[in-house]
Homo-oligomer: A and B are copies of this chain.
Amino acid sequence: MKQMGKKKLLLALLLFSGGFILYFVWIQNTFEFPTIVHSLRTAYQTNMKSDPRWTWRCHNERCERHIKKENEKSASLITCNMLCGQPKLWPFPTGSLYVSEDSVTFFYHQISVLYFAKNPVRSLLEQSFAVFNQNVINMVPTTYKTSYKSDIKRFLVVVSVTHPNQNKLTLSTDESYTLAMNMNGDDLVATIKAGTYFGARHGLETLSQLIWWDDHPPEGILRTVKAANIQDAPVFAYRGLMIDTARNFMPVDSLKRTLIGMSMNKLNIFHWHMTDSQSFPFSTPSVPKMAQYGAYGPDMVYTPQDIQELVEFAYHLGIRVVIEIDTPAHAGNGWNWGPEEGLGDLAVCVNEQPWNLYCGEPPCGQLNPLNPNTYEVLEKLYKDIIRLTGETELFHMGGDEVNLDCWGQFLKGINYTDFHDLWGLFTMKALEKLASANGGNLPSNMIFWSSNLSRRPYITRYMDKSKTIIQIWSPSLWSDTYDILADGYRVIMSHVDAWYLDCGFGRWRETGEAACDPYRSWQTMYLHRPWQESMDKNLVVGAEACLWSEQLDAASLDARLWPRTSAFAERVWSDPEKDVKMYTIKESVYTRLTIQRDRLISRGLGAEALWPLWCSQNPGLCL
């Protein structure tokens, strides 16, 4: 700067900075004085903005950073990335795929929409499009004024859905879609075709990923690709994320934010581990004492309205809510009012010490399988859940980690040779109540956590394979997975060694070991592919990442979930094979995931950084 003559400087400023001229000249003459530091800042940043030093060029399918040559038209990193190499979609589409390497600029007010869909799907689409449209608007800085021109006259989005009445998301719902983008005269037309609302919604999500804010100085502009042809459908029907709201309470807003993140990654099951032995935040008029005794505090509850609101919010985002009231273990606080009401112990060994004799972590608690009132309460809760979620295809029964010593010690007057049979009996009675709560018939599928009851010989004794899905959380090398599949049960994969998001933060108690170190990195989550081996893939309904909340609450929820859950989501939507060689991940995945992380940030989710920004700005050089 100092080497430029003042005349040259003025000329440059005229071209680049408009109204800052006089201001700037003044600074040039006086900047030794500390009082003008503020002015310097404005001037310097203006200067940098008007004269970016770097540009990116597409070379060998990656964007290389170069010092800009004089008079060279420079490109921003995001624009280079979006038009270079593999399309920057996440999760990656599974069908045929073409995305143009040319872009067009546009303004958001040029977007309009046309529906080929009858009600009731049409009104769903209208809301979904409103979300899409708002996301595009939000890309534009609020103080923004541009002098760029739009390359197009209109940006028309056409959405058609062939089955307007298939509006319930199930394991057999067609979630596929196609997205075609083409110029039609001066108009850019994006056509999304899907069998159902859920496919169309995914299509809009994909379309939003083809639109970006080109932050190229001085002003920036919205861009999208000039043409595209995408066919896409998920590999697995069940693509879940579990959140535990019992160890620490998560406010409804933070769960909504999580649902937004899920929808951006095309996950479709929010498994809500609502209650546990620590707390029972479900506040229901049918059994008000549950939350009165079990909630952490009067404001730390989920009311029926909260739940309905969340279920509806999720539904519009293409996500089902599966609520789990874990039983018979992982149930203590909230169940400890029976004696006061003359109902006897609904649960036993609640808060018992020393806890390590009766449970895996403090506080202990297990339902009392001998008390008929326990089942009466269960039926009420089951009825609530079915009513509030509207979910009758999937019902999560919990069922993990029963501690037989808790029952053996605290249930008096019984004598089982094998307490697993008492556990089995409890399960069958609970299912009876579930059927009754559901109007006489069981829901289509009951999900149970893998446990000793889902092991041989008990599994076949107590669980009907036609209606049971086992959610396998055991380590991936344990024989459970293979036995369960060999016995013909369907499974959801949640291997603790790959897909547990809470591990790696050391111990939270004074004594003992960390629960499940180490941290599962996004690479670990991405590379885990338990169905690669000789396995009947028809029995694999899908997979689920799990976040237990012993060591976090809303303050760090986003960072714990994202972008690792995005990595998991691509595994279960696309199940990429070619990209994954033994323990290495292609460079393009790093680039795509970095861009997906930026999308999460731009939609208000506090996703973690993957690596130094230098690596994003220099694709391929951090390997």
Binding site for B on A (CB under 8 A): 1, 31, 34, 37-38, 40-41, 44-45, 48-49, 52-53, 217, 247-249, 278-279, 283, 285, 288, 291-293, 295-296, 298-301, 303-306, 308, 333, 351, 353, 355, 362-363, 504-511, 514, 517-524, 549-553, 555-556, 558-559, 584-585, 587, 590, 601, 606-615, 617-618, 621-623
Contact = CB atoms under 8 A, between A and B. Distances in A.
A76 to B, nearest CB: 10
Contacts of A278: 612-614
Given A519-B506, A559-B555, A612 B304 contact: no
Contacts of A587: 510
A40 B217 CA distance: 53
A504 B519 contact: yes
A171 to B, nearest CB: 27
Contacts of A553: 609, 613
B506 A521 contact: yes
Contact of A37 (B45, B49, B305): B305
B506 A283 contact: no
Contacts of A521: 505-507, 514
Contacts of A613: 247-249, 278-279, 296, 300, 553
Nearest to A41: B303
A614 B517 contact: no
Given A333-B614, A612-B550, A53 B293 contact: yes
Given A296-B617, A506-B521, 10 more contacts: A44-B303, A48-B291, A248-B612, A279-B613, A363-B618, A506-B523, A510-B623, A549-B612, A550-B612, A553-B613
A20 to B, nearest CB: 14
Ranked 7 nearest A-B pairs via Cβ: A506-B521, A48-B298, A556-B559, A278-B614, A41-B303, A37-B305, A508-B611
A609 B556 contact: yes
Contact of A279 (B31, B308, B614): B614
A557 B171 CA distance: 39
Contacts of A614: 247, 278-279, 296, 333, 362-363
Contacts of A520: 506
Nearest to A584: B510
Contacts of A585: 510
Contacts of A556: 556, 559, 606, 608-609
Chain A contact residues: helix, strand, loop or mixed: loop
A319 B288 CA distance: 51
24 contacts: A37-B303, A38-B305, A40-B304, A48-B292, A53-B293, A247-B612, A248-B612, A278-B612, A353-B621, A362-B621, A363-B614, A504-B518, A505-B519, A505-B521, A506-B524, A508-B622, A509-B622, A510-B623, A511-B623, A517-B519, A549-B609, A551-B608, A551-B611, A606-B606
Given A44-B283, A351-B621, A555 B612 contact: no
Given A555-B607, A609-B555, A41 B505 contact: no
Contacts of A296: 613-614, 617
Contacts of A333: 614
A619 to B, nearest CB: 12
Nearest to A520: B506
A37 B309 CA distance: 10
A366 B179 CA distance: 49
Contacts of A288: 1, 44
A608 B248 contact: no
Contacts of A506: 518-524
A279 to B, nearest CB: 6
A158 to B, nearest CB: 36
A279 B615 CA distance: 11
A549 B614 CA distance: 12
Contacts of A353: 621
A1 B37 CA distance: 66
Contacts of A519: 504-506, 517-519
A65 to B, nearest CB: 9
A301 B45 contact: yes
A298 B559 contact: no
